[in-house]
Amino acid sequence: METQLTELMENIKTDYLNWTTRSGDNKGELSEINKKMIGEFNDNLTLKTGQKYIKVISSNSVWGFIVNTDTDKKFAKGDILKAAGWKAPARNQARGNILEGGYKIQWTGPLYL
């Protein structure tokens, strides 16, 4: 699961980079401000591992949660869940699974259903 978490983090960073380079007059070229923003975004993207979930934190907000247990009655280990708040995920439906791949995410969080 360690490899898939690293891949998820890289996918989030890549989506932020792609979003950054799509805007502005110099599409594809990074200004010094863009480089600073990307560096700050990447540095502030962290994981906090708990018993049930791994919280993906982007600066001062929760990007989403990853199920970190095999004993959840509704979800499988590796399922991606949107954040309902700082401490808990939205448990309505998984947005993909990092162990299975093929999930769709954005730098702002897991995609809506």
pLDDT given at position 26 = 55
Question: How far is Cα 84 from Cα 62, in angstroms, rounded to an integer?
Answer: 9
pLDDT given at position 20 = 86
Task: List the chain residues with pLDDT less than 70.
Answer: 23-28, 113
pLDDT given at position 27 = 61
pLDDT given at position 47 = 98
Is the backbone of residue 66 left (phi > 0), alpha (psi -120 to 50) or beta? beta
pLDDT given at position 28 = 62
pLDDT given at position 59 = 92
pLDDT given at position 24 = 55
Helices H / strands E in the chain, number of each: 2, 6
Question: How far is Cα 29 from Cα 113, in angstroms, rounded to an integer?
Answer: 33
pLDDT given at position 112 = 78
In percent, the amount of the chain with pLDDT more than 90 equals 81
Tell me phi and psi for residue 73, to 5 degrees.
-75, -20
Is 89:83 a contact under the CB 8 Å cutoff? yes
